[in-house]
Structure 1
Amino acid sequence: MFSQAVRIRIAPMLVCAAALAACGDSGPQAPPPPEVKIYTVELVEVPRVVELPGRVQAIRTAEVRARVDGIIERRLYQEGTDVKADAPLFRIDPREKQADYDQATAALSRAQATARNARQVAERYEPLVSKQAISQQEFDAAVAAAAQAEADVISTQAQVERAALDLDYTIVTAPVAGRAGRAQVTEGALVKSSEATLLTTIEQLDPIYVNFTQSSSELLKLRRDIEEGKVKSVPLDRVRVILTLEDGSIYEKEGHLNFLDMAVNSSTGSISVRAEFDNSRRLLLPGQFVRARVEGSAIENGIVVPQRAVQVKPEGATVLVVGKDNVLESRPVKLGILHGTLWLIESGLKAGDRVVTDGLQHARVGAPVRIEGEAGIPPVPAAKKPD
């Protein structure tokens, strides 16, 4: 057992040790604020890109129809091949039209002979009337007969020309150069000019058109933005158009707008727009569906943020912004089009806002954060060009 003196010396030491232990136990320490990277919003020029569905259309379509009655004797072209203008496509049995032409030619010869005789009679009567060998009435009748005979010649000449034209129409030719489609009739079929029987169709495929529609409200908004100086306008033929094909690939040729309708479709509330493309390889076919990425005007003072900084939820899109005293706040934004990895922000942010780009998983709205650094973003990309 300890002696009384030892117990007296140990007791103060125990009291001091307890006091030191109490001084060192200050409870659990608060974790440091999470580290985040930010992007400070700047005003930049952003291409104004619109994506629209479109349909391919031949630049010119010619329906080849029968212009005379007859029986198809032979098809003179290969279906699905390119033909030149005035190339023969079909032959209609020409025998009936040949007979009509021969008959008209004979009638012309007869009319010409009658006219010569009438002129000669009038010429013989002219000196006789001055000598009163014949009456003035007889001379006038001879002159009128000669004039009538000349008119008959002109009328018969027109019949010959019409018969020659019908004879030429028995060879059906291509009105334009292009790709000739499937024949709509076969040898032995009866065709009629009164019914304008369709024989085939020729389509010019190079260059080629793509038609799409633009909402009239969007066009009105664009015009207002141009007037207010928010958007920089460019001429119509300098508006670039990039096509995305049905398999997701980018069409190899870049096109441009060449037509903007000035009338609004009353049933759809949209305006027709057309673009023209080179189609030398015949990759675009009439009726094909594509997506057109139209890039022409530019937003002068646009705002973009990295795609990873935007949280898209059913109720809308938001970003986290570092506010006063480095406290996080959630900011709803209205998204425009996606430019590569950058979202165009139409509203909700202004220049100088500090948007969180990295560290979102640890950040909490209403809590402070520690800014680790500034995140750089790539330049605003234009529409993807064909290779």
Structure 2
Amino acid sequence: MQRFFIQKSTILFLSLMVLAGCRKSNQNQAYQQQAPELPIEKVKQGDVSVSREYAASVEGISNVEIRPQVTGYLSRIFVDEGDYVRAGQPLFKIEDQIFREQMKSAQAALITAQANLSTSKIDLDRKKELLRNKMVSDIQVKEAEAAYNAARGAVSQSLSTIESAKINLNFSTIKAPVSGFIGRFNYRLGSLMTPSNQEPITLLSDIHEVYTYFSMSENDFNNFQKQQPGSNINEIIKNTPAVSLLLSGGEKYAQTGKIDAVEGQFNKTTGSITLRAKFNNPDSLLRSGNTGKIVMEQFYSNVILLPIASTRTIQDKIFVFTIKGGKAAMLPVEITGKAGDNFIVSKGLKAGDEYIVTGFDRLQPGTPVVAQKKNAQPKKS
């Protein structure tokens, strides 16, 4: 009886083991059937050209502060704010009566000085004649010569005073030093003008050409220098291709520009350096104070390229999926820019690494994944 019970128990145990093995085999088969087959590609490396945009500010090629050079009351204004003026055109008038009187006084002093000069010349000539007849001494002749030289000096001083009066009189009419557009007036009729006024009367902006200023990061600037031929910054600037300007509304400015200057040092606070590009402005479309974006092509050699569609963005960070040990793994990557439909990867991947191309929308790290065979047709859902 006992022996029969032992045999029956053994048979039952073996049956349970067989059933467990079958169940585990079925689970493994189901496990493999559930694992999705996703396309896998290798990371590529290549050369790309990227359009870079940099925020820019516009200034006229010449922004001139219009200031008085003499003291007086503002008596006339010949132009209005926003007017276009040409070089030499009168802009403002300072009361000039005092300068006219100074001119008259200087002219009268000149007449007196010239009369004294004539008198001293006559006296000198007469004493020289008397000296030849030994009727006067040498000392008397030298005194006459000294008086004559003093009279000549007085004439020169009077002429200088007249020129100074002319200059002040001319300065009472303030003229445009360059052609351009008049800015806002800081003073009105009757205001007292002095050369020491804190603010200029207005600003005159010459905008037949404009400068656009924009900043580059240290990495972008280093790459910019490497791309252009030349042994120094002047040669590099000379060989730099033309750049474009996007206006504040997003439209492209018709004229192309040329980078013509680079700041001497980096800004320690921002870690950037300022560049300047010059644009022709024949239609005066651009004005000082305009903003926009400089667009320039930058070439990158032997960079890691990753399709944008094969990435996932989570909280401003970019990830790519790959397969490790038969399971999905999510890797963070660092991006330096875009080239068409690709990201330029600076960190996280290298050429030859594999990544999942598509089908990872609902994929979680650790999920079983099977690499799809190259010629296999994707399974229909």
Same fold (TM over 0.5): yes
Q: Quote how far apart the aligned CAs of 1:278 are.
A: 2.9
1:163 to 162, 165, 183: 165
Cα distance in 1, alignment partners of residues 177 and 373 from structure 2: 72
Cα distance in 1, alignment partners of residues 301 and 80 from structure 2: 55
**Match runs of 1:277-356 below 5 Å:** 277-296=279-298, 298-314=299-315, 316-321=317-322, 329-356=329-356
Cα distance in 2, alignment partners of residues 64 and 307 from structure 1: 54
**AA partner of residue 301 (structure 1):** N
2:104 to 102, 105, 113: 102
Cα distance in 2, alignment partners of residues 137 and 144 from structure 1: 10
**Match runs of 1:156-235 below 5 Å:** 156-195=158-197, 198-215=200-217, 217-218=218-219, 223=222, 231-234=226-229, 235=236
**Gaps in structure 1 of 5+ consecutive residues:** 1-25, 375-387
- Secondary structure at the aligned position of 2:44 is classed as coil
1:28-76: CA deviations, max 9, x gaps?
Answer: 7653874545554333223365543332222211111112222322211
How many percent identity over aligned positions? 25
Give the number of equivalent residue pairs.
Answer: 342
User: Does the 8 Å contact 1:66/1:197 carry over to 2?
Assistant: no
1:322-375: CA deviations, max 9, x gaps?
Answer: 679x9765433211112343211112223333443333337676521214579x
Q: Quote how far apart the aligned CAs of 1:206 are.
A: 2.9
Cα distance in 1, alignment partners of residues 172 and 148 from structure 2: 37
Cα distance in 2, alignment partners of residues 359 and 277 from structure 1: 48
Cα distance in 2, alignment partners of residues 140 and 366 from structure 1: 120
Cα distance in 1, alignment partners of residues 43 and 179 from structure 2: 56
Partner of 2:6: none
Give me the TM-score of the superposition, normalised by structure 1.
0.76
Cα distance in 2, alignment partners of residues 315 and 62 from structure 1: 46
**Match runs of 1:27-176 below 5 Å:** 30-31=32-33, 34=36, 36-37=38-39, 40-47=42-49, 50-176=52-178
RMSD: 3.3
**Gaps in structure 2 of 5+ consecutive residues:** 1-25, 230-235, 377-381
Cα distance in 2, alignment partners of residues 202 and 190 from structure 1: 21
User: Does the 8 Å contact 1:80/1:179 carry over to 2?
Assistant: yes
Cα distance in 1, alignment partners of residues 309 and 286 from structure 2: 36
Q: Quote how far apart the aligned CAs of 1:198 are.
A: 2.6
Cα distance in 2, alignment partners of residues 334 and 159 from structure 1: 74
1:260-295: CA deviations, max 9, x gaps?
Answer: 112334554443322222333444332334333444
Q: Quote how far apart the aligned CAs of 1:256 are.
A: 3.0
